Amino acid sequence: MLEAIKEIVISEEDIQQKIKELAAKINNDYSSEELIVICILKGSLFFTSDIIRLLTMPVVVDYMAISSYGNATKSSGVVRILKDIEEHIEGRHCLIIEDIVDTGLSAGYMKNILSLRNPKSLKICSLLDKKIMRINDIEVDYAGFVVPEKFLVGYGLDFRDKYRHIRDVVTLKEEVIGVSDKL
Ligand code: PRP
């Protein structure tokens, strides 16, 4: 285990079990209809990779990257598209895959701009749902775990772009967060 880790909040085993349950629901809901899965970079890389391989309908994977203008203005909801999807989604079922929905601003923004392209349906699947931090009315259609207001990394979640590769969802030691630039 990495020395920087304080505690495991959700184990790799529990994550994988939850992904099976989420995939079963999605398979049931969409049956054999084609689904465009939109992986939101970078955080949902591993979650997307794991869940799509359990889906049984025809799946098209696409990628989108957005960036808020730093924490100071995040509450303004200003978000910038760094990479747009390549698929034309009009009349097609789309599922946004997130690692975490926190304030809901990123998910809200993506839902707004993708809705304008007239998909047949547009839902959100997020492994983690930090509901307590929500500042809008965004609902996660397929939520894995509702998590408390703790700073979490691992399984795609980062701290200054590090720790994404940890297989569990974990917290970091306070001193690590304090001296992060030296790591
Ligand atoms: C994280 C996460 C969501 C967003 C959730 O991405 O992957 O996209 O923040 O926060 P919100 O609900 O408050 O908008 P981040 O901007 O950290 O980028 P990353 O996925 O590349 O790490």
Its pTM stands at 0.94
What residue numbers bound the domain in which 78 lies? Answer: 13-147
Residue 100 pLDDT greater than 70, yes or no: yes
pLDDT of residue 71: 53
Domain count, the chain: 1
Residue 75 lies inside a defined structural domain of this protein:
yes
DSSP character at residue 137: -
Residue 153 lies inside a defined structural domain of this protein:
no
Distance (Å, whole) CA 107 – CA 8 = 26
- Do residues 149 and 133 touch, judged by C-beta distance below 8 A? yes
What is the rounded average pLDDT for all residues in the chain? Answer: 93
Distance (Å, whole) CA 23 – CA 10 = 18
Ligand 1 contact via 36 beta carbon (within 6 Å): no
Annotation marks residue 141 as catalytic: no
| H or E element in which residue 48 lies | helix 45-52
Residue 176 lies inside a defined structural domain of this protein:
no
Please choose from 41, 46, 75, 100 the residue to mutate so as to test ligand 1's pocket, defined by most ligand atoms within 8 A of CB: 100
pLDDT of residue 5: 96
Angle at 95 between CA 110 and CA 8, to 5 degrees: 90
Please choose from 102, 105, 140, 153 the residue to mutate so as to test ligand 1's pocket, defined by most ligand atoms within 8 A of CB: 102
Residue 166 lies inside a defined structural domain of this protein:
no
Distance (Å, whole) CA 80 – CA 67 = 5
Residue 32 pLDDT greater than 60, yes or no: yes
Q: Which tens digits make up the pLDDT trace of 61-97?
A: 999 999 876 554 455 666 789 999 999 999 999 999 9
Residue 181 lies inside a defined structural domain of this protein:
no
Stretch among 3-17, 57-71, 121-135 having the lowest mean pLDDT = 57-71
Residue 164 lies inside a defined structural domain of this protein:
no
Residue 32 lies inside a defined structural domain of this protein:
yes
Residue 102 lies inside a defined structural domain of this protein:
yes
49: Cβ contacts below 8 Å, ≥ 6 apart? none
Residue 76: CATH number of its domain? 3.40.50.2020
Q: Which tens digits make up the pLDDT trace of 42-55?
A: 999 999 999 999 99
**Backbone dihedral angles phi then psi of residue 35, each to the nearest 5 degrees:** -130, 130
- Do residues 66 and 113 touch, judged by C-beta distance below 8 A? no
